[in-house]
Amino acid sequence: MVFSSLIFLYFFLPLVLLIYYIAPKSTKNIILLISGVVFYAWGEPVYVFLMLLTTLIDYTAGRIIDKYDYDDKIRRIALIGSIAVNLGILFTFKYFGFFMSIFGADVDKLPLPVGISFYTFQSMSYTIDMYMRKIKVQRNFINYAAYVTLFPQIVAGPIVRYEEVEAELSKRKINALLLGEGVGIFIKGLVKKVILANNIGMLWTEIKGMEYPALSTMSAWLGILAYTFQIYYDFSGYSDMAIGLGKMLGFNFPENFRHPYVSKSISEFWRRWHITLGSWFKSYVYIPLGGNRNGSLKTLRNLLIVWGLTGLWHGASWNFILWGLYFGFFIVLERIFLGDILKKLPGFITTAYTFILVVFGWVLFDTDTLGDAFSFIGTMLGGGTGFADSFTWYILRNYFILFVICAVGSTELPKKLYDKLLFNVKKKEYVYYAIPVVQALMLLLCSAYLVDASYNPFLYFRF
């Protein structure tokens, strides 16, 4: 699916944009729908029908909820039916094998449809918001299906709620300014993914395939730091590409990342990381459970439920569930007393506290079993072959500069330097002329790398 997606972006995207721009307004959503179906079917020729089925069911549920606005019973049945079908399909493909294994049954796992968690949550937001009377019904099936199948973000987010693009589905601006802005954001995301994530990720792939007790402590730390930067640049890079493509098409998708590694608490980290997922769980799980309105104990209960589900959303394994509860535990501690302590400490200490906890969390996230996770953490804590070895120095020689670039790039420093440059340069037109040239060079560099590279995973496609 990764290779298929890149083929689509590089060879079909210019054609899609050309047709889209010259087509009459009345046909643009049809073009979006067709391009989204083709994009998804290119890598998932069978499961595209599954996506279209859930789209039809949620569209129908929305029409029923609107038609019987006066009858709460029918509205509730339509909502429950929609949620049951969506979660039933998600459970069957993503969780059935895992839950059966808990009871000792050996069941072959079904191939996981790419992006099923993303488009399922996205489509469910429509029927839930319809039931809550937060949005108006979409009577045009083409418009609704175009929303669900929007190809820029269908397989890896950001999760776009219907209310966020409701107006733009029927009326949106498409002009040269938005096109230029979208191209810039897209290229920034492409550089993150292709130049940074792919290259730093090769180190983690190599280390992950080794025997963990045979690693030195420093090699283990460098390996998981490589993954820490890989997953950030991979996922935020894809999100940027999706947001940029959205602007080219006239849509304003929500922000999904906001420099999460500079956070000063775990709570703040999750306000900056995968923002659309956190917002979805807050709106549709945490608040319906009661949020923080029913006392401290129920608030803590609600937080742990949300974080257990957040882990489970990412995958059907104990590693993911423990990963979610791990963050939930620290968020609960920060809610009870730790947050007040952190506010009194220097910023560099709280940032280090948050970053280190996140790094340990990524070990749980990307190892195959809990045994592997604890083995790797043991090596990180000094249980390996020593502090450093020849492999450690090999890593530092080959990856030191890339680590520095990734570390600096994950902060707000590059944006501050860019803004300062624009503010101080007297003849700003030179800078504005240089920007497209730099972007074109970056695009050529990424294209050349993709043609030649054999390592090009999209980490969040598996969710």
Catalytic amino acids? Answer: 314
Cα gap 400→412, rounded to integer Å: 21
Query: Whats the size of the chain, residue-wise?
Result: 463
CB atoms within 10 A of CB 361: 20
Cα gap 90→337, rounded to integer Å: 37
Residue with structure tokens 């944006």? 415
Q: Is 125 strand, coil or helix?
A: helix
Cα gap 344→58, rounded to integer Å: 48
**Region of residue 48 (phi > 0: left; psi between -120 and 50: alpha; otherwise: beta):** alpha
Asked whether the CA dihedral 118, 122, 128, 132 is positive or negative, the reply is positive
Cα gap 309→302, rounded to integer Å: 11
Please give the C-alpha separations between residue 231 and each of 188, 202, 250, in angstroms, as whole numbers.
Answer: 16, 12, 28
Residue with structure tokens 């809610």? 335
Nearest alpha-carbon partner for 156 in 238, 88, 100: 238
The angle, 0 to 180 degrees and rounded to 10, between the axes of the packed helices 141-148 and 116-131 is 140
Q: Is 218 strand, coil or helix?
A: helix
Please give the C-alpha separations between residue 398 and each of 50, 373, 394, 448, in angstroms, as whole numbers.
Answer: 45, 26, 6, 21
Bond into 152 cis (ω within 30): no
Q: Strand locations in 300-418, DSSP E?
A: none
CB atoms within 10 A of CB 170: 12
Please give the C-alpha separations between residue 440 and each of 145, 147, 219, 259, 453, in angstroms, as whole numbers.
Answer: 34, 30, 37, 25, 20
Cα gap 189→256, rounded to integer Å: 12
Measure the CA angle with vertex 342, ends 413 and 327; round to 5°.
Answer: 85
Chain centroid, CA 343 distance in Å = 29
CB atoms within 10 A of CB 421: 11
Cα gap 240→440, rounded to integer Å: 17
Q: Report the chain's C-alpha Rg in angstroms.
A: 23
